[in-house]
Chains A and B, each alone.
Chain A
């Protein structure tokens, strides 16, 4: 039986099917649904770790103990986990360990589009890359076997269009292997698992030898295959890009790589000998291209296709046509000549939802004119006009350290760091300690909506509930920051603009490091909705004050503002900012 599954669902299914018993992750688009789905299978343990590095260590621990483990994260999460990834490559493991890196070419929901294939080469471990959900399922199984056979962690890389695309998956008649009856026996082996320099020096040659063996293994692996066709153009591709290229070059000879590192040199040479021109089609970095060129094989790639952005069949056809690889009866010519006189369609960027607590915070921050060092989450949308109240965003947890640095540069501006509750637990704790230890006057605002909202409402250490829906101890934010030494700590409701503004002013003028917790649950998560306010068109003077909230239900009518009751969540901020009392709420 076949079932439609996203790549992420298929990875979770594969992990379950091939005996993974421990999973750990931190949510991040496009990877989130992997652990979400895995956690629902019977007999497995799965958790949201506070961040990716912790998740990686949890997976490593389980693998050291001889249990198959899955760790998943978005591409930039691997940066956070990298320190652990690099040591486990040296130590090896006992049970299979698979790290999923879900990359985001095109940056649909990310701060960069780094190509994590480079991590395989950098950290010296094998990497597989599926091209659809069926492969995603199978590759997890292969990765686990490879991990145990070669004593190495294995990475499986997806991209957004694999993680979030649905394709049919063959459902297995059999379930996973039975759970071991006895608890696993932990084998103590300090020489292998304690990376003091003396041991690490002995391990490094093992790693170099291992990657050579893996390259030999790659020659025989059926997921690296030549698909015979026309001999004029031979295309090397992997993953989603392979699928796009197949649409554009239905007749060409293909080298479809399922294992993207290390590469099978003999197979590539054989492939090259069969075709007149070798063309590598790969998103982002010239990862295959450079390695193949180093083999002394003439190859085209980035001279035809861009290094930037997400590929699509459309883009590949355009580039290939321009390069003369295919004739120009491109889709464009076929495309409908609509009678369109060019009309400028206004763009629609993502915005804070109606009823979002972050809106009140950013409104107050904008009014206060402070410098806002921001972070990663829904609240990053505070940068968008008309709120325009965020001035930096780099990566998870950067806000507080950057604010501290700006403060140390002695700028005139009043400085606040803004980050969410989940982001605080992820990477905000250490920089907050720095603010205390090295004494700056930064006010840190934790905009607490009590859930990891942006990625679709995952639990975190502050919610009191685990990924597998067990009740647990909730870390109390106020007590936590007080216990590390903050003396000025306040909790505010960002729906109360005046109250929040007053507290902010006190904190900024206090001359001491401080924390404000702006707490209001995510309304998409709680599904709470209050009665939408109404506007009296007679009283409304059309001053636009309410529109400065950037709230989508507020719409400009002829000479007054209206509120769409379907979109409105009834937060009442517009009632508070209206200077003519034209907006009322029951």
Chain B
């Protein structure tokens, strides 16, 4: 009797939660899809209604074809920037996190003050443009990669360092006794153990870097350097009364994070929580 009542009560709680949460968090995404599937004039009505003709694929291909298929170039550039930055971020920050957590000396406290500063201080845009230009990296993918790495390092290091604390010292000490060199300890022992936290760093920073638009806009101008967010940004005014295309574009650029989300949801959530809160 009580179990049945509990089950029913649980059912209602489930149903209400699902309804409210979906209304707030899912409806905007359904709206994007619906609008992206409409004709131009219909989309401009801003109504939450099914399209009279389903033109989703047509609109998406119009967006992809737009401006000499600029979108494909943009996706390629975004991919290179994201993958390049992530690789460097993981290598550089895990090395720092490793030594910093294991060896709490003056260097470590200096590093942690600098990381703290890096976490809270916003970047100085104009001087960065000036610097990139002086060293010949302005308007290159490499230049933007370096900037993204520098901006993301503090977050990555702090996340990995927190996770590092949960790896018992005994493990590396055992490796040392076996005669492993520092690089061997780092690559063979620590990196594999850091995997969950590294996945978090990869997912979170790839989303941040992929979604960043001010970075590319100012450090990477030029037709051949366009990135995904930049196409979106320039379409805001270009499609100012073609809402169906604008939303088709929104939909296209939302697909990569969606894929990321479907595959890594558990790791993101688990990783984020283990990283951000330390016991």
Tell whether A pairs with B.
no
Interface residues of B (CB under 8 A from A): none
